[in-house]
Amino acid sequence: MRALTKIVSSYFLAFGFIASANAILPIEKLDAYKGAKAFLVQTKALPMVDIEVSIDAGDRYDPAGKSGLADMTAGLMNYGVRGDRGLLNEAQIADEIADLGANIGLSVSGERAILRIRTLSRKDLRDRAVQLAASMLSSPTYDANILAREKQRTITSLLEAETKPEYVLERRFKKMLYGAYPLADTPSVKSVGTITATDLQQFHKQFYRGDRMIVSIVGDVDSTQANEVVQMLLKRIPQSGPVIAPLPELQRSPVEPLAQREVQIPFDSQQAHIAMGMTAVARNNPDYFPLLVGNYILGGGGFVSRLMNEVREKRGLAYSVFSYFAPGKASGIFQAGLQTKSDQGSMALGVMSDTIAKFIMDGPTVSELAAAKANLINGYPLRIDNNRKLLDNVSSIAWNDLPLDMMEVWTKQIEAVSLEQVTAAFQKYLAMDRMKIAVLGAQNK
């Protein structure tokens, strides 16, 4: 009976959480502080709070010849800090996080650096976690000895990565896609080797400031408590800093002869690895939803996608094939790819290209559109069914300057997409004569 009671209780707890997810919790705009914007979704489903600080300090700001600097600046922020309790080394920081039962993580993408905190919402524990994260944000020590160790670790990882076909392909393909745009460069043994502690300190001073930050909070805190968290987190952060030169705009992929669009990358591999794509739209583009729905049909819907049907089901050329749009705040790309036997590379590339070209020309069918919209709409609750997923959504909305009711209207936007909109959007933003193609490890036959 106890076991049955436990199962029934768990069921109703889960059902209640899903029901609350379907209700869509509102995003509240908090008080601006130190030039930073802040947002809250209050939910009492768990006695936890998840916090994210997004900093406009991503890889695209790496200086020439120092690719990896942005990543290392963020990555070493938890290896030593000057806090309210004096100097804390990496072991003491790790011990403090463990004692709190918290999690503090740092990551860097092309556009932004991200600090995330997950802690119990009990005030004393929450405040300690936030204070520690505040020290990381404002006062990392960047010890030269630790930097030397982490540089060697990074270089070792890079040397190992260069033996992997996926890494080699992606690095070369990024260079083809982005051209002169800063995201074209990736860390190398040479670039990482040039990074100094002074570089880290200067990069941190230049970019880690309030007017380049957005704070997103999801969890068991009200607006008053959330504003206190923001102020505690950013209290030692400068509001502004030196003027930063604007980045160049990401240019649309030009029309080029096939010889310039396609590269063959020699690599000792039994598999051919193929990537195809071009620059595309940013996240706030009004055609985002038609492209999202259309790509679900083309290559984003797994086994129900056209690419999977043509490449795998009909011809058995690959176990998996995909396509996706990766839109950011200032840039975006479209990419498709697959792996196949080395001697089938040309055939697989031809089928993938023909399938994409046909979709651009003709668009989806009525039944494909209906199925895609139903799958996306019915699956939406799973995108917001816990605090971390909610935080992902709030962060994306805030970072990309989207309307604060985006989670509420997301399914309506999907439902409103028409056949004509999908076809028009694909024809507007994609063209086969502007696609970049990288083929690694295929035999020329």
- 184 & 307 share domain: no
Distance CA 435, CA 355 (A): 14
Counting the structural domains of the chain, the total is 2
> Could you tell me if 412 and 345 lie in one domain?
yes
Structure tokens of 59? 């890889």
Cβ contact 212:58 at 8 Å = no
227 is a domain residue: yes
The structure tokens listed for 254 are 């030009």
Q: Which two tokens stand for residue 417?
A: 């997409």
For residue 166, tell me if it sits in a domain.
yes
Question: CB of 308 within 8 A of CB of 252?
Answer: no
Burial 231-249 (b: 16+ CB within 10 A, else e): bebbeebeeeeeeeeeeee
Residue 37 and residue 55: Cα distance in Å, rounded?
A: 11
Angle at 281 between CA 278 and CA 389, to 5 degrees: 110
Domain shared by 309 and 217, yes or no = no
Same domain, 211 and 309: no
Q: What CATH number should be reported for the domain holding residue 113? A: 3.30.830.10
Residues 165 and 295 in one domain: no
Q: Does the reported pTM lie above 0.85? A: yes
CA distance 132 to 265: 46
DSSP 8-state assignment for residue 34: T
The DSSP 8-state label assigned to residue 4 in this structure reads H
Q: Are residues 391 and 265 in the same domain?
A: yes
Tokens of 148: 């030397």
CA angle 85, 88, 94 (to 5 degrees): 115
248 located within any domain: no
42 lies in the same domain as 168: yes
- What are the Cα distances from residue 205, in Å, to 41, 196, 198, 212? 30, 14, 10, 12
145 & 80 share domain: yes
- Please report, in tens digits, the pLDDT of each residue of the chain (445 residues total): 333 333 333 333 333 333 344 468 999 999 999 999 999 999 998 999 999 999 999 999 999 999 999 999 999 999 999 977 789 999 999 999 999 999 999 999 999 999 999 999 999 999 999 999 999 999 999 999 999 999 999 999 999 999 999 999 999 999 999 998 999 999 999 999 999 999 999 999 999 999 999 999 999 999 999 999 999 999 999 999 989 988 888 888 888 888 789 999 999 988 999 999 999 999 999 999 999 999 999 999 999 999 999 999 999 999 999 999 999 998 899 999 999 999 999 999 999 999 999 999 999 999 999 999 999 999 999 999 999 999 999 999 999 999 999 999 999 999 999 999 999 999 999 999 999 999 999 765 4
Range of the domain at 404: 258-440
